[in-house]
Structure 1
Amino acid sequence: MNAVDAANASRYSRHTRVLVLAFVLPILACVLIIGGAVLGIPTASEPANGLSAQTTATQSASVERDLGENSGRPVISLDDAGAGLPVQASPPGGEPWWSMSLPTLAALLLAVLIFSGALLRKTLRSLRDIDQDHARLQHEYAALRCSDERLRALADASSDWIWETDAFLRVSYLSSSFTTATGLARDVWLGQPVELLLQCETLPAGQWLQQLGVGSSGVGHLRCSYRDSIGQTRHSRIVACPIVRDGQIAGYRGTVLDITDQVGAQAQLAHRSTHDAVTGLGDEHALTRFLDQTLADRLRPVPLTLLLLDLAGFEALGGTLGEPARDCILRTVASRLRDSTRSNDLVTRLRDGQFMIVLASIDEMTEIGHFCQRLIDNLQRPIVHGVKQLQVGVNIGVVHDHPSRGDAREWIGCAQIALREAQAEGPGHWQPFAPALDRQNCLWQLETDLRSALQHEQLLLHFQPRYSADGARVVAVEALLRWQHPVEGLLAADVFLPLAERSDLIVAIERWLLREACAAARHWPQSIAVSVSLAPAHFSRGDAPRAVRDALTDSRLPANRLQVQVAEQVMLGCADGAMTALTALNEAGVGLILDEFGSGYCSLGYLRIYPFDAVKIDPRFVAGLASSPQDRGLVRGIIDLGRAMGVRVIGAGVDTEQQLLSLQDDRCAEVQGLYLGEPMERAALAPLLQQQTDVRRSRQGHQAGLHAR
């Protein structure tokens, strides 16, 4: 019997008794009244038939005695007999009830029947209410039991496990899935402090729970970890809320979701984003990050040495023997580099057959020279690939100095200059970069001049059209930054923007770039968008969404006519900040383009996570369309990927007709390059756009005339 049946059983019994009384009492009353009226019942005041004379005489004698004894009684005088007869008066109300008249009996019977009928009616109504209440309670109980079973089934089937604590943060409840997920026994952990079960790196679990007050939102999320039954660390995310009774916190309740696989996948993604997929070495991003951190440590007295290695003949071997031989060479060289360096040295692969080594704690150039020669001899040894023995030449460019000046880009650039000098002497040579300090002095002077470029209006914009796939229609124009230096002449952005990124100049320069580009596009046809590249430093040091909003507001340019190009380094530098900034731009209606797509190792993941509208293929892959089947396949794969994901693909760096035809055959959406149009000044761009507008209007007028006919 359930709780509802047990609660209603007593009510049924009470009303059943009332119902019985409602039927039985009237019947008994009727029987007694009618039976008494018909049969009659003798009393002690009247003699019964058949009494003996002796009895009568005895009674008379008794009466006579009573006359003398009870002289105080009222008597009836009998003059003739000389005696008196005592009066025996009946007490009030002592008449027998059966002596009542028939109307009185009928009235009494009618009253009993009316009362019994009313009692019966009330009883029946109460029984009907009981049936309704019982049916409703049964329905509610069934729904509650179904809900409870559903909740229990979900809790048991889910990988999450539910927990509760008392007011003293001791575990008071663990769901059955706790043992399934952790392998731990529930009984062992009941009554234990929750901090012993869940460890959090940022904040102790108990302290975090106590911050979930009654007046706050009441629900919190925290990432923590625990050790399962075999001692492995499992990462999880807990969701908790306080248990409030009578306005006081009586404990806490929540769930635990195991995110170990997710954490591992994120770690793998982070590792792949900074490591080469073939060799497992760090890539250019890892190198740049390490150098920036090292060079930023002004108090570190240890000198720094960069070795830029290039494998001579690597591309020829890879093109002749194929991809397996290419990967075999790279893996073998990477292994020999690891064996030749120490644990505190950094070995990275940049691109193709180039590697970079960062040596620490080597101060003498003589020692560096001996190391370079040993490295060349080791790498030029034959490499076994199947039944073949492969051999490559090696050149090394060396940069050595104390890390007190410059940045990563400058150091890598100096190493490349030294490498070109070593390559000029043939394979097997290394060359130090001697004029490093002079080069730095030149760069410092250039940076000083750049600070005044904005004030003296030396910066200007050139515009390069971007065409549709057929090359017949301009769909957008990219704004390119230029610096009219008073001494050096016209400088491209890749010369001075790295200097601006070393300081906060990059924010001011690119705010100017956005304002000028939007103001220029305001006078173009409405179908033409303007594209602007923003440096990664702008996202980390400035407020890129605000700069874009200000430029659009000042120029009154619609947001959908502005496209912002960002490189992969934006996501690598600060993933959370990049996601916030790019989402804000996307919500404002600004188009987003991922620049140099394919140059990184995690660009595919960015398309899935970040709200990009288009991707621009790295010009190095477009340059190899005619000569490299690998580049042609990679470009075709990027285009197919973009079409599958609904993202426009832009082919950048189209310098020949063959490259344009290849992109058209692969159904690339848009193209841009010197073959289609060189960067030009604003005055030269206006006639081109006007000519396109006139042609379109002429075609529309011709079509309107045909329709009119």
Structure 2
Amino acid sequence: MMLASQRPAAPGSHPRIACPDPGDQRVTHQSATASATACSNMQLTKHEAHARRRRALLSTNQDTHQARNAGARRQTKARDIAHACKAMLHSLVAALGVHLPNTDHIPEPLAGKIRAGQIAAILRLTPVMMIANLLNVGTVDWLFWQSDHQVFLIAWSALTITLAVTGLRSWWRNRPLLQNDGLPRRSRSSKSIRRMIINSAVLALLWSMVPITLFAQAEPGARMFIAVLTSGMMSAGALALSTVPLAALTYTFMLALASAFALISAAEPVLVYIGVILLIYTWILAKTTTWKADMFISRLIDQAQLVKQNELIGLLLRDFEESASDWLWEIDEQGRLQHVSMRLAAMLGQPAAALQNRRFREVFCPHAGHAGTGNLQLVEDLIAKRAPFRDQVVAVTIGGIDGWWSLCGKPVFDETGAYRGYRGVGSDVTQSRRAQERIAQMARFDGLTGLPNRAHFRELLSARIAGEAATSPPALICIDLDQFKSVNDSMGHTVGDRLLVCIAGRLTDTVGDTAIVARLAGDEFAVLPSGPLREEDVVELARKVIAIISLPYQLHGKQVQIGASAGIALTGDGACSPEQLMNNADLALYTAKNEGHGQFRVFGPAIDAEVRKRRTMTEDLQAALKADEFSLHYQPVISACDNSLRGFEALLRWTHPVKGAISPADFIPVAEESGLMDEIGAWVIRTACAEAASWPRAVTLAVNLSPTQFHNAQLLNIILGALGTSGLSPRRLELEITETALLTHSTATVNTLNHLRSIGVRIALDDFGTGYASLSYLRGFPFDRIKIDQSFVRDAIERPDCAAIVKATIGLAASLGMASTAEGVETGAQFDWLRDQGCTDVQGYLFSRPRPAEDLPKMFEQGEKLFADVARKVA
């Protein structure tokens, strides 16, 4: 019931309550409570609905995730099955001797395009293949409709026609992609290849049912039709599907096996034979198919590489036009410049518009102001012949500056084959041309003296021999400087270089402008005289050259004087080639230097015989090392104070099985020259240490070191190895080194001597005064003994100068705390005189000749008595 003061509320608006009484307030409170309860219930309902929707969404997501996982598992399983089938097919095919193309090395982007190309090649033949299938289906149905296989024919025809129509539809959909016969732009996945294999297998299965079902009950004519049909289907299908070899092989093998089964099941000998022949034919067809597939894939790979190269060429051309230092040129069929580039205009120093339609020769000819025109005429001839050319260098002068341009070009023809001009590239090769000229100069001439070097001199000698052999056989003089090394070492390389330049100038002035002077090596020169010369003329020229070189030089305020030796070779001596002539001159020079400074020799039979003798001796020395023909003899070293045995010097001996005993003076120089002395010297050290180990402990061993041994990097290891193997005490070993060996010493050799001395090995300076005597050796090397050469000892009593040298050497050794040994003592008077001068030790024939190792025990038994008796007899 409504109060009188209240008015009905307007629809859609809230009622307004005015002045309620307490009873009305209770009613209002109850209504508010009910409203709150209703609101609370509504909120709960909303929360429950939201929760239900969330649970439903989660359930849906879970179902979707599970479905995706299930799909992924199915796909993985399908892939595994496909890979297994593929592996099985590969194994089966490989077992038959058919090898499929290997595409595993092809990267995936390219592999996808290759797969697309394989499928596209099949799709292009699909219309013909499917129409042939439809015609064959109709023919089979027409021939066998009257048989008892109508149900089979209906079902088989329906399936085959459906598959053929599906193939035609696929071809129709992909027609736009089949226009390009090259590498497709789109890729295909491996699934498409698998689908192609499956489709081929299904089609082969359908056609395999024909011989299996119809052949056995067919008439002879129908059998022949089935045989021809299956053979044709096999051949055509294999060729059409050959781009996908697995599809082709699957199709071929299934048809072949079905046909062979039908033939063999007939149990007729002829048909069985035909079945076997069919299998062999199938194998040949499979080999052909895989070969064709391999060729197809290789062609696609080549096309891909060609596309990549074309893209790269295009990129390079764009980069070339934008930033290269070269320039493009183009002429029309009349030889006029077209499309003149800004770079070409800049190179010619003219505006591009002014060069447009200018003739090719007009552009280059006015600038060909130096060195002729280079290959400009050749370029014009090639253009006239429409022949391509490259790297043709033309000489140009632009702005008064000489230069060289390299031109490349090829003719341009339009689509009708008409000649339209030339296009090419030009480049400025001035810097490279000048660099090539400098390199050629350096390769042919000596950089210091400007004379021809050995290589260029050989070319000149060859030309001279070829040109003058008939009229005046040329002669050759090889010259080697004497004492140049000592000047170079003592005065410095600057003085040495200046000296070589002066010598080159003197040689050139002496022999004349028509002769050829060359520098062959560091201090070796060659002269090739010109004109008809007799041997006497060449000899006189050699004397003149030696005399001119030997005159003093004023270098940096100092007077320098050296000498020269020469070797002469004539073509009449049997030398007919540059190598022989230079070799003969070198041999003559070697002989001259061995005979002293300032000498010359002409190559002749005597020198040739000596060379042959050394060559034979070298071969004999090599054989002697292998045959153990060497032995050691020992000469005693006696104390001059008490006549006691101090030790022995090991001396090398060689007994040739045919020639007998050969003097060390003959074979040791040959061993040094041939490089065999290191091996022989190592044998001497090992053998001497091994034999000396059994001597009395007070007896020492002296071993000579040759110059090559002294500089051998393995010398220290050889000596330490010999001492360790033999057990000989290092304090009992003494190494004798000549002054010649010290000429080219190094820090390493000094370190070797110091190391040997540190372990007790003694070092002796042998043949003192006979070589390049220098007191600096005694200061710079750790010597324990000086050995006086026998040439001074032998004449010491008769010649005062020799006596003075021996006295000075003995006194020098005593002053430096070194022992002294006199070699070659043969008389008692010499022995007494040496003892009176204070010489510590002597050796020579007076006491004993060198003895073999087996004679030494007797000397040890007699001991001091033997040598004391000798001393008393001569006293």
Structure showing greater radius of gyration is 2
TM-score by shorter chain over 0.5? no
Q: Which structure shows the bigger proportion of residues in helix conformation?
A: 2
The two structures have a TM-score, normalised by structure 1, of 0.42
Larger strand share, 1 or 2: 1
> What TM-score, normalized by structure 2, do the two folds share?
0.35
Greater relative CO, 1 or 2 (CA 8 Å, sep 6+): 1
